[in-house]
Structure 1
Amino acid sequence: MRKAFYAFLILLGCVLLAFKVQQVTMPDRIADTAFKSGELLNYRLKYGLFTAAEAHLKIEDSEVNFDGKPVYHIIADGATAGSFEVFYKVRNRYESYIDKTTLLPYLYTENRHEGSWHHTDKVTFNRADDKITANSGTYPFSGKVFDFPSAYYFARNLDVSKLKIGETFDMRYFLDNGIQTLSITFIGREKIKCALGTFNCLKFNPTIIPGHIFRKNSKLYLWITDDNNRIPVKAHVEVVIGSVTMELTDAKGLKFPLNAVTK
């Protein structure tokens, strides 16, 4: 079950878009965001036919300022559900504090309980010195580097209208003990059905590394609404045994209407 939930975290993380592609402009300041404070997104993870876990993404105004600047507080929770609770109980929380103007992170924390395993981390982004400080050490960086939650909210504000089918690009984020790079290919546009209806979506194929979780020929696909909200509707990945699917089950407090389409 730990492997299936790790695959779920990858699916959740892959709601990020890309940052190095030339056709996507990375603004230093974002005047009008694709989201607003109070937005709440709920997801369900299915391992084969069974519901294995649930996740919740929330963004709100923070009572704490950083460098004298107002920030958003992002909270991402993930937990096993149903009969999976008996075999492998998971309670994970990821939090990020991001600048309201640049959407860059100041602080990221995680508190993970997976079975008998427990892990915590506190990551600070010092952009004046170009250093990231985590429990595992200090890491130099340059350019825009994110944690998973902050990358997702930043990416929703990028203009991807000029992306071409088959184009591959990279994104960078800090996780565990270093800066990671994920390559993503734009597949095209599709209509995707989820619990909230059928939506026009952008389809992406993030690269995955074969190993204990994924097969050599495993494919990971991600669908994001092709509207002003740019929220992930569905993700699907093949694992060593079976497959894992993440699906949007509820969306509240959106800045723009989430309009389903007719087939």
Structure 2
Amino acid sequence: MRLSIIFIFLLSLKLSAQNTAVNSGEKLVYTASYNMSGILNDLAQVTLETSTVKTSKATLLKLKCTAATYSKWDSFFKIRDLYETYVHPSTLTPFLHTRDINEGSYYKYMKYTFSHKTNTVKSLQKKKNNQVENKDVKINSGTKDIVSTIYSLRLIDFKNLSVGTSKNFTIIFDREEVKAKVTYLGKETINTAIGKKECFKLSVGSSKSNVLQGANNNLIWLTADQNKILVYGKFKIPVGNGELKIKSATGLKN
């Protein structure tokens, strides 16, 4: 089970939405659990972090996501994944994205350089044998990588959405555009490791049947405040089901 599948159901909306929720210096820590033989086991820690990066031409926001199995699982299936994206701090528009995947015997490195004026992505892929492949990919306007889509979900104005409203959008993953849909299901209050939280409840679906299964099997809960952080998620994929639960949240913007 590749943890990258977990992230595919965390999605975005508008390229032009303004960032009022995500702060530099924010750190969100989660426990990722997976159902093995009918028992839900805490498998790995997932960490989302943001920081400011200054270049000679601009000030960018760096979005970093890491996933690592707990040590007791390393001998069974060791995971060390790193995702990084550099975005415009106000719109979360991505400029550069890298994905470094180490999962058991599986390895893949992917780099995307976005050109939004031409709607293209220059991609570089490297596998375990160090063979490098470069390829230009044509994308639609508003298409983002998986990390910037996770954060961009928090820019949606849920307060002005009617229950049952769905939004369709596109992300680029493994050099392919994936169609996805998020549906607003209303508010729900749940208990979390950081307290009882009133949340926006969403269902997420993908056009790829080998990623997510079932219309209401993939759900996420975002806090119904100005930060809109993910506090709980549940997913179902062809090889099983699992959960993502928040452990801690620091450096929040609001």
Aligned to 1:43: 30
- Please give the root-mean-square deviation of Cα atoms over the aligned residues, in Å: 2.2
More strand by share: 2
CA distance in 1, matches of 2:154, 2:6: 16
Aligned to 2:13: 18
- Partner of 1:155, secondary structure, is helix
Moved more, 157-166 or 55-64: 157-166
Structure 1 gaps of 5+ residues are 20-25, 257-263
- Partner of 2:152, secondary structure, is helix
User: Which of 106, 112, 132 is 2:121 aligned to?
Assistant: 132
Structure 1 segments, 4+ long, off by >6 Å, are: none
Asked whether the equivalents of residues 214 and 236 of structure 2 are also in contact (C-alpha less than 8 Å), the reply is no
- Partner of 1:142, secondary structure, is coil
Encode CA deviations 1:134-154: one digit per residue, 9 max, x unaligned.
125112223211111112223
Encode CA deviations 1:96-135: one digit per residue, 9 max, x unaligned.
0001233211100011111111100110001222211112
The answer to whether residue 33 in structure 2 is matched with residue 33 in structure 1 is no
- How far has the Cα of 1:210 moved from its partner? 4.3
CA distance in 1, matches of 2:240, 2:152: 32
- Partner of 1:109, secondary structure, is strand
Asked whether the equivalents of residues 93 and 112 of structure 1 are also in contact (C-alpha less than 8 Å), the reply is yes
Aligned to 1:73: 62
TM-score by length of 1: 0.83
Structure 2 gaps of 5+ residues are 125-133
How many residues in Structure 1 have an aligned counterpart in Structure 2? 240
TM-score by length of 2: 0.86
Encode CA deviations 1:199-248: one digit per residue, 9 max, x unaligned.
0011111125544x766677111111111001111011234565301001
Asked whether the equivalents of residues 166 and 185 of structure 1 are also in contact (C-alpha less than 8 Å), the reply is yes
Q: Relative to 1, partners in 2 of residues 1:82 and 1:93: Cα closer, same or farther, differing over 3 Å?
A: same
Moved more, 121-130 or 133-142: 133-142
User: Which of 151, 155, 158 is 2:149 aligned to?
Assistant: 151
Moved more, 50-59 or 214-223: 214-223
- How far has the Cα of 1:160 moved from its partner? 2.3
- How far has the Cα of 1:165 moved from its partner? 1.8
